Amino acid sequence: MSNSDLDTVFISSKENIRYFSGFTGTFAFLIISDKKALIVTDSRYTIRATEECPNFEIYQIKSGINWIENITKQIGTKILGFEGENLAVNMLEQMKSKAPNVSEWKDFSDPVTQGRVIKSEEEVDIIKRTINISDSAFNEVSKVITIGMTEKEIAWEIEKTMRELGAESPSFDTIVASGVNGAKPHHTPTDKKIEDNEGIVIDMGAKYEGYCSDLTRTIYIGEPSKKFKEVYSTVHRAQLIAIETAQPDMTGEDLDALARTVISNAGFGENFGHSLGHGVGIAIHENPTVGPTSKNIIKPGMIYTIEPGIYLENWGGVRIEDMMLFTDSGNEILSHAIKEVF
Ligand code: ZN
Ligand code: ZN
């Protein structure tokens, strides 16, 4: 705020609300000025907000009360920053009409979210524990996958095990893509049974103390074919090169190119359609971006994934994903789930 002309900010995304206040419920807003920090919620969450947000004053919304006008008048808001990336257009219009005392409304999405990109030691610590949960769950479940199990059953085993290991939830719906389904990077698990001699792409993550983890492994049931070995080793090599040769001051684009070149040189350039990676934190996808057009510089303290893949229609796919902490000397690999070499 001190770097802008805003006198008040309105935080509405659940990730930023949790980041700034500690609130874990599903309905609240933060209104912050240099003199006041308010958490606005309703009776379902007032006790929780009191417990979780000791640094915030609680404002309880009651029906028929014009809370946005009351609060902004009390604060003396003239220029209000809001999260344009998150706030619904109709809610913004409604608030504008209810608080004519506010003279200007400005989109403040970028600076609000950029603050989360460099992780504190405490955040790194929590994320490491979160990663540990999904790594352990993968190691446990991958051992019991057998022919005849369905994709849905495997996904459920993974999600159940992560909960048993302390996760508050999965960080996203688990992906289990077997055989030809592996060609769809974001396949939803089906009742398809695992067959002999096919690959399985498993993309999974845990949420713990508000932070996410993200992990992909591709395993093989039976004796891997020559083609599978070729595709797998290409993806693996691309991943290792990106992990090991990343240097301070590279952009997300540079990092992406390291892996993409390996895959293109092997003749699979057309079959790697997504970005190399993405930041991970309170949200499963956040800054920095690590893709072909990512101009952001990768800096120490950033946590992100490196996840190259190759997807071949009517054949299947391979993706390998690990989480990195960028340090002064390059990537520190945070994921430690079993990774096979074919
Ligand atoms: Zn993933
Ligand atoms: Zn990912």
What is the per-residue pLDDT across 236-250, written as a single tens digit (0 to 9) for each? 999 999 999 999 899
Predicted TM-score (pTM) of this structure? 0.93
Which pLDDT belongs to residue 186? 94
- What separation in Å is there between the alpha carbon of 187 and the centre of ligand 1? 12
Please report which ligand is nearest the Cα atom of 337: 1
Say if residue 309's pLDDT is above 90.
Answer: yes
Going by pLDDT thresholds of 50, 70 and 90, the confidence category of residue 1 is confident
Say if residue 43's pLDDT is above 90.
Answer: yes
- What separation in Å is there between the alpha carbon of 59 and the centre of ligand 1? 38
- What separation in Å is there between the alpha carbon of 205 and the centre of ligand 1? 7
Nearest in space to 57 (alpha carbons), one of 75, 30, 84? 30
Which pLDDT belongs to residue 323? 98
Please report which ligand is nearest the Cα atom of 306: 2
- What separation in Å is there between the alpha carbon of 39 and the centre of ligand 1? 33
Which pLDDT belongs to residue 111? 87
Going by pLDDT thresholds of 50, 70 and 90, the confidence category of residue 3 is confident
Q: Which domains does the chain have, with CATH numbers?
A: 8-114 (3.40.350.10), 121-333 (3.90.230.10)
Query: How much of the chain exceeds pLDDT 90, in percent?
Result: 96
